[in-house]
Amino acid sequence: MNLSYTEEQVMLREQIQKFCETEYDFYKREEVVKSENDFDANAWSLFAEQGWLSMPFSEESGGFGFGPIELSILFEEFGKSLVIEPYLSNVVLAGSVLDKSNFEGKVELIEGICSGSMHVSLAYAEAAHSYEYLKPDTNVSDDNKLNGTKTLVLNGKNASKVIVSCVRNGELSLVLVDKTAEGVSFNTFRTIDEKTCAEFTFENVSIQDSDVIASGDEAKNLLIETINLATLCISAEAVGCMVSCYNKTVQYTKEREQFDQPISNFQVLQHRMVDMFIDSELAKSLLFKAMLEVDADSEDKFRHVSALKAHVGKFGKLSAQNAVQLHGGMGVSEEMMIGHYLKKMVAIDAMFGNADYHLKSFSK
């Protein structure tokens, strides 16, 4: 097993780090969050210019053909800077479904995603089914009318197209729906980590054969592979959060003085930070193993992703909680990143299966 990154992968990480350090200011991010905008349009354009939006797409679709390793690098660095732009929804979720499908109209959609001019969302979750997504209640009737409700649709507010999982002709299907189509309605809301989601309701929305992206086993495999890749990506994001929580906490305790000495001299705080360090290092090791298994398309890739997600779900939140406590009252202020890391870790744990869910998946 190769335990080192290639020169190209190292350069990619350095490029992302440079962007996050020089172009992605936390306070500017907070201004965007508090405004009516859901993300920084200028930053999104830079993502396209840097080629990041094209990274995972196949060369046949106009992309660079990068895989899970490069995506993990990207999301780990995004986690460190709390990037809120809708990369996960556009490129990883909707993009992966389109790229790996046999859908005739996928090239035009992927070109729009790569250029940053088009937003596409994947609507797969339903309130009644928790983390189960392969047996949706949403369905297409015999007269080709789509009916149902989808919740937690990431970036649904900005999407012009929505990929909807449903039952059609008695089998799981993925259909492409225009958000402006008659019978489509939606409500948007903020999540705890300051991103936007939407709940879509479909009432007798007309579906043509040309709107069907995949059906049967193809649709099932597309969803399973896409959700697994997305789980890997947000777990990598969690690893970045854990690393930053540890580094920022160590730095803060060296600067904060009490009883005429830095609080980093107190043994009980040192023990807390050692625990944070151990948890983040184990998370990095689990991430490395998981992304290699996914990249190799091994039979155990799902178990390794579950092991990673279970770890970051539990210990990522614990690390962020320790970071907040060691920062004192400043840890919960909106002006510091620490409290926002905790919000992010809570959100990540809930996405695509929490720690308990993935622990059970790993044990099967």
Q: What is the pLDDT of residues 94-129, one digit of tens each?
A: 999 999 999 999 999 999 999 999 999 999 999 988
Average pLDDT in the 178-199 region?
95
CATH 1.10.540.10 residue spans of the chain: 7-115
Between CA 301 and CA 304 the distance in angstroms is 5
pLDDT value, residue 172: 98
**What architecture does CATH give domain 7-115?**
Orthogonal Bundle (1.10)
Q: What is the pLDDT of residues 47-78, one digit of tens each?
A: 999 999 999 999 998 899 999 999 999 999 99
Between CA 332 and CA 81 the distance in angstroms is 17
**What's this model's pTM, rounded to 2 decimal places?**
0.96
Residue 360 confidence (pLDDT) above 70: yes
| Mean pLDDT rounded to a whole number for the chain | 94
The SS3 call for residue 198 is strand
pLDDT value, residue 345: 98
Give the CATH number of domain 120-216: 2.40.110.10
Average pLDDT in the 139-161 region?
96
CATH 1.20.140.10 residue spans of the chain: 218-363
pLDDT value, residue 116: 96
Instruction: Cite the DSSP H helix spans in the chain.
Output: 7-22, 26-34, 41-50, 68-81, 87, 95-100, 106-115, 216-255, 267-295, 301-311, 317-327, 337-350, 355-363
CATH 2.40.110.10 residue spans of the chain: 120-216
pLDDT value, residue 1: 55
What separation in angstroms does the CA of 16 have from each of 10, 72, 74, 84, 245? 10, 12, 7, 14, 19
Domain 218-363: which CATH class?
A: mainly alpha
> Which sign, positive or negative, has the C-alpha torsion 284, 12, 346, 162?
negative
Residue 2 confidence (pLDDT) above 70: no
